[in-house]
A = this chain, B = another copy of it.
């Protein structure tokens, strides 16, 4: 093979990380061959032990630049160094196609636990942040306009639930990786030896054996699901990043990120830039790009194994690596983030209570649509008079509608507003505490 082709052809730099899976799969295969009488019991055992020795050598590292084309040829060569010609019997009835598909799935089944753990820690940091923000009332926004008062805890927890959904998606992708063991599919047509695939399945921890050999060697659905889980998690992280950038701006002034996760400016000494939030938000690009890349890669390929599939691993590995890179610092930053507002929203704009004013009228029997319009008039009246909503005199209210009575002044309490929203999922203290309890339980599982 010519040198310029070798660079393109070679995948060892990428797939070396699959050596533990390649060893496990090969050991299972050796035993299965012995079980089927294709090898003697003794040969089977010698291969398993030889592979163990190879694993020992590989675990010491330093093989990234080995001369072999990929991890499979590397393992086979090292096995030859351990057991001699017997190594040549391991590949009986097995193809590179079912072998690599099995290795990759084993990796997919395992990688999730690290991601899940990182997500659990991120979730715990959000819970702790919510606990620090349960007494604090801040402006809640829609359309980035101030809308209604919120407990800061409600905001923090709004970022938790997506993360919990993401955990489920990764868990699901991992389960799919374990559905349909490819080993025993041969190159495309199945295995010509009486291999016990059910035994292989159990040994390798799969949930089921693949049903069709031709489908099995090229099925990467689980990998796409995992890349999608990564992309959607990326979208959630971009929202969290966006919020952190906003809330730690001077204008919003709600949150301070810890110094160790910010940087100063090369030109402006007073700056405290929310780098962690921006870097995390920026990584969304490659997470989405990896998904698009995998979809593009697979589009229009004919059935069966095609060499294009070599590219699948690098893209998915990058998604996993990116997540392992971004989640810990984000968690660290949230763990020490501080709310910089205090109290129960005393300084907030009374306009945040306009909905409560409409609800007040509703309770007095005014249909909501009408009360909505009436409050609009109240808001404009206050603006015309240059007054805040809460300091508008009762007369002015009553000119607009007689249902306004002296108790209207009780509406102007941020605390009362949030406490009114006591239905499940709302921002009242009780509802938030129920959320927290539920979240804590989910995070221990």
Contact = CB atoms under 8 A, between A and B. Distances in A.
A427 B285 CA distance: 32
A342 interface: no
Interface in A416-444: 417-418, 420-428, 431, 435, 438-439
A20 interface: no
Interface string A304-327: 111111110011000000000110
Interface in A181-196: 184-195
Contacts of A435: 211-212
Contact of A142 (B142, B162, B306): B306
B285 A293 contact: yes
Interface residues of A, number: 178
Interface stretch (A108-116, A238-246, A401-409): A238-246
A412 interface: no
A71 B332 CA distance: 26
Interface stretch (A48-56, A57-65, A144-152): A144-152
Interface string A372-407: 110110010000000001000000000000000000
Contact of A296 (B221, B285, B428): B285
Contact of A91 (B93, B190, B368): B368
A212 B158 contact: yes
Contacts of A87: 369
Nearest to A277: B307
A303 B159 contact: yes
B150 A214 contact: yes
Given A212-B154, A232-B224, A299-B296, A187 B148 contact: yes
Contact of A251 (B86, B158, B251, B439): B251
A241 B306 CA distance: 12
Contact of A368 (B88, B235, B272, B332): B88
Interface in A263-291: 263-276, 278-286, 288-291
